[in-house]
Every structure is written in C-alpha cells, then in structure tokens.
C-alpha cells in the first residue's frame, strides 16, 4: 500500500514539472516564425498609396478645369451671339441712315429739277418776248429805234429789253441748276447702290426668322417684294408689262418709306428667265412670322396640262421657257414668311398655246395714298395666290394691265379694308373695268376681244389670311 502511494507521488511530480515547462514555453520570447514586418519609410506600399492620392487630385483638377472650360465656352458663345446681333443692328442703322440720305437727296434733286423746268419755261417766254421786241423795233423808223435802244425811252422800252437781259440771267441760273442736278443725281445713284448692298447683307446675314415659327410681335417688320416681268420684246405689250411693274414698285415705295419702320427689300427679275427667277428666289432668306413675301408677275400665261399641277398654269419667259405656277408658289411657301402673296397679271387660257396679255388704250392713274396696302401686309398673316383672270380668260392690258391698274387703285386708298373686302373689290372692279373697255370700243372694236365677255381674277386654294 505504501509502495502504491509513493508511485502516485512520483507521477504527480513528473506531471507538475511538465506543466511548468509547457507554461514557460508558451511565454517564451522566441520570434514568431511569420512575424508582421514593421512599417518603415522604405515600405513598398507607400508609393502606391501616394499615386492613388495623386490620381484623385488630378481627376478633381480635371473636373474643375472641364467645368471652367464649359463656362468659358458658354461665355464665348454668348459673346459671339452678342457680336452678331450688334453687327446686324449696325447694318440696319447704316441702311436706315443711307436710305434717309438717299431720300433727302432725291427730294433735293426733284426740287432742283422743278426749278430748272420753271426756269426753262421762263426762258422760252422771255426769248419769245425778245423776238417780238426785236421784230417790232426793226419795223420802227430810225429815230424811234435810236430812242428805244440806247436809253430805253422809246415805245417798246418798258420791259422788252429788260426781258432780253432776263434771258441771259435765266440761262446762267439754269446752267447752275443743271450742274447741281447732275451732281445730286450722281450722289443719289451712289447712295442707292450702298443701300442695296447693305440690304442684301442684312437679308442674307442669317438674321431671318425661325422658319415661320415663333410668336409675332404684332406687325410685320420686313417685306420682300419680288417683281418678275417678261419685258424683253420691244412692243406695246412689253411696255405695258414694264409700266405695270413700275406702278407696283411705286405703290410699295409710297406705302413703306424708311420712316414707316418696315424694311422693304426689292428684288427684280426683268426680261424674265427661269434662271433669273430662281436667282431672285435664292436672294430671299428663310423668313419668319414677322416677315412678308410678296411676288408680282407680269408675263405671258399658258395652260399647264400636267396632271400633278393643281394650278394648271405656267408663266412663259423671254426664252420661251415654261415656269409652272405651282413651282413658283411652292418655292415661296418654302421661305416660311408670316404672309405669302403671289399675284400675276397673266392670261389663263384653257386651250394649248400662249395667249399673251392684250394691249389696248391707256387709262388714267389714281392718286397714291396706300393705307390699304400697309394694313393688308403689316397686320395679317397667311397666304394668297391670285391670278388676274379665271381659267379660259385672257388678261387685257391698256398701256398697263387692267388688273394691275385696279390693284394699285384699291391698294392706294386711304381707308383700310380687310383682305376679304380687298379681294372682293379687286375681282368686281377688274371685271367692271374690262366690261367698260369692251363697251367703249364700240361694235367694230369688240372683235379684238375674241368673244370674251369677262375678266374675273381667280383665287387659288382657300387664301387663308387672318389678322395678326
């Protein structure tokens, strides 16, 4: 028994010694076989972190620079728009100033011309009086001549010789006026050329409207007048067409002077050809709601039998080309003006071949005071496509077109009327003027009209026109 107890004590001692040894081993300072190295200044991770930080800083700087660049670009665009607006404004001001100077010079030229005419008439009267005095003096006895000529004491000395001297004075003054008139005419031509150039730049400078869109400011601000005339031949009909075109031009000049606040741009295609008609249209920029495009045609008219032509009419050029009315109208519509008007003083026969407008006797012109034209063009928007006669009818001319004369007379009135009233009056009065012409020529002259009893202007489409 004692031996067993001893054995247990030995085992206990051995176990205690092992436990102590194990505990010491666990608290040993023996280095870890995979120690974490301490961070030092030469740590390879540090440059990577720095590069990441630098990249972030560079990106932030790039974003900042990009925003600054966008802001600068916006400011540049704004400055460019402001410069363009300023340039356009300056061109308008120059055009207005030049036009005003041209008008003043034109008035001076007209005054000088009137004075020259008066002087010329006085000169003629004085010359006639002097001639009569000379004749009468020659018939007097010598003593009487001696008394009349030296001292002016004779029977005919009371003004006749003074009139002879007046002739010399008037001739001298007339010479001075002629020189002034020539100088003014030269100045006027130069300034008118400048105005045309400035208006061309102003019209083609990209300052047009937004294709007919947008909201109107209340009244039209700019009018493009296209005058297409086939006046190539040297005959009375060509002269009538030319005079009709001049009447329309004068009407617009009277209605829209510089002081009206409306810019009038006139574009001509004389001796009409397809090429110069296209060139005239190309001079018209894309327009806007506050713009008017008005085209007036004086040319031969004929039937267009193309099934795709809704208007069934063409205009013949000086080169015998055929311009379909539809082509001209659709090109005008493409300019997108607030108001688009096409008027033609042309025949509209229903049979093949050309039926030129017919010349006849002259009629007197009316006094121009075009409040009607101003109101119709400035205060309305829409479209009007009108011919001087209905299909199957010729359009007749005196020394100018009956339709043109009626149009100018009505448009020159001082009391504004609506478009409906205007078109109705134009149709009725044109037909009345034609009937009066037929009546006045008598039975023998009526054969000239080939049995035609009416000339009634014809409206294509619905001519939708509304107040602004």
Q: What is the pLDDT of residue 448?
A: 81
Q: What is the pLDDT of residue 49?
A: 73
Structure token digits, residue 298 = 């004086």
pLDDT tens-digit series, residues 37-55: 444 444 555 677 777 777 7
- Extents of the domains making up the chain: 98-204, 222-467
pLDDT tens-digit series, residues 314-363: 999 989 899 999 999 999 999 999 999 999 999 988 765 555 666 655 44
d(CA 226, CA 280) in angstroms, rounded, equals 7
d(CA 246, CA 268) in angstroms, rounded, equals 11
**The domain over range 222-467 is classified in CATH as 3.40.50.720:** no
Residue 188 has a CB neighbour count (10 Å cut-off) of 18
**pLDDT tens for each residue of the chain, 468 residues long:** 555 555 555 445 545 554 444 444 444 444 444 444 444 444 555 677 777 777 777 777 777 777 777 777 677 666 666 666 666 666 666 666 666 666 666 666 666 666 666 666 666 666 666 666 666 666 667 666 565 555 443 444 445 555 555 655 665 665 566 566 666 666 666 666 665 555 555 444 333 333 444 555 578 899 999 999 987 676 778 888 989 999 999 999 999 999 989 999 999 998 899 999 999 999 999 999 999 999 999 999 999 888 778 899 999 998 989 999 999 999 999 999 999 999 999 998 876 555 566 665 544 444 556 899 999 999 999 999 999 999 999 999 888 899 999 999 999 998 999 999 999 999 999 999 999 888 887 777 777 888 899 999 999 876 689 898
The torsion angles phi and psi of 389, rounded to 5 degrees, stand at -150, 160
C-beta of residue 269 within 8 angstroms of C-beta of residue 279: yes
The torsion angles phi and psi of 93, rounded to 5 degrees, stand at -65, -40
d(CA 56, CA 138) in angstroms, rounded, equals 120
Query: 210, exposed or middle or buried, with CB in 10 Å at 0-12, 13-18, 19+?
Result: exposed
pLDDT tens-digit series, residues 402-437: 999 999 999 999 899 999 999 999 999 999 999 988
């Amino acid at each position: 028994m004692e031996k067993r107890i001893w054995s247990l004590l030995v085992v206990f001692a051995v176990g205690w010694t092992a436990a102590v040894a194990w505990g010491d081993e666990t608290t040993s300072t023996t280095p870890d076989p995979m120690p974490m190295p301490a961070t030092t200044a030469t740590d390879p991770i540090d440059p990577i972190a720095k590069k990441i930080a630098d990249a972030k800083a560079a990106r932030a700087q790039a974003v900042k620079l990009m925003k600054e660049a966008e802001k600068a670009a916006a400011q540049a665009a704004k400055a460019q728009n402001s410069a363009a607006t300023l340039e356009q404004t300056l061109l308008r001001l120059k055009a207005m100033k030049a036009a005003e100077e041209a008008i003043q010079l034109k008035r001076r030229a007209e005054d000088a011309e009137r004075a020259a005419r008066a002087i010329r008439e006085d000169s003629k009267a004085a010359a006639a009086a002097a001639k009569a005095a000379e004749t009468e003096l020659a018939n007097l006895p010598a003593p009487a001549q001696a008394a009349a000529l030296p001292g002016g004491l004779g029977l005919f000395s009371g003004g006749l010789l003074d009139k002879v001297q007046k002739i010399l004075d008037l001739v001298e003054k007339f010479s001075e006026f002629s020189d002034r008139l020539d100088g003014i005419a030269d100045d006027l031509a130069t300034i008118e050329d400048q105005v045309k150039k400035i208006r061309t730049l102003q019209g083609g400078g990209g300052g047009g409207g937004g294709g007919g869109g947008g909201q109107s400011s209340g009244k039209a601000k700019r009018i493009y007048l296209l005058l297409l005339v086939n006046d190539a031949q040297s005959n009375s009909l060509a002269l009538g067409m030319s005079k009709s075109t001049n009447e329309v031009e004068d009407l617009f000049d009277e209605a829209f002077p510089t002081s009206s606040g409306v810019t009038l741009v006139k574009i001509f295609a004389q001796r009409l050809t397809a090429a110069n008609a296209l060139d005239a249209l190309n001079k018209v920029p894309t327009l806007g709601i506050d713009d008017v495009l008005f085209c007036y045609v004086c040319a031969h008219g004929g039937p267009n039998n193309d099934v795709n032509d809704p208007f069934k009419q063409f205009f013949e050029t000086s080169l015998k080309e055929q311009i379909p009315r539809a082509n001209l109208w659709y090109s005008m519509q493409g300019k997108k003006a607030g108001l688009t008007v096409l008027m033609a003083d042309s025949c509209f026969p229903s049979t093949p071949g050309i039926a030129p407008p017919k010349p006849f006797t002259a009629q007197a012109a009316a006094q121009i005071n075009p409040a009607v034209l101003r109101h119709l063009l400035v205060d309305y928007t829409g479209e009007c496509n009108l011919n001087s006669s209905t299909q199957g009818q010729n359009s007749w001319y005196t020394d100018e077109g009956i339709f043109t004369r009626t149009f100018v007379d009505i448009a020159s009135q001082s009391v504004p009327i609506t478009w409906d009233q205007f078109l109705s009056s134009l149709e009725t009065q044109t037909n009345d003027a034609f009937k009066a012409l037929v009546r006045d020529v008598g039975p023998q002259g009526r054969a000239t009209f080939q049995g035609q009893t009416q000339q009634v202007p014809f409206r294509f489409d619905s001519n939708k026109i509304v107040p602004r």
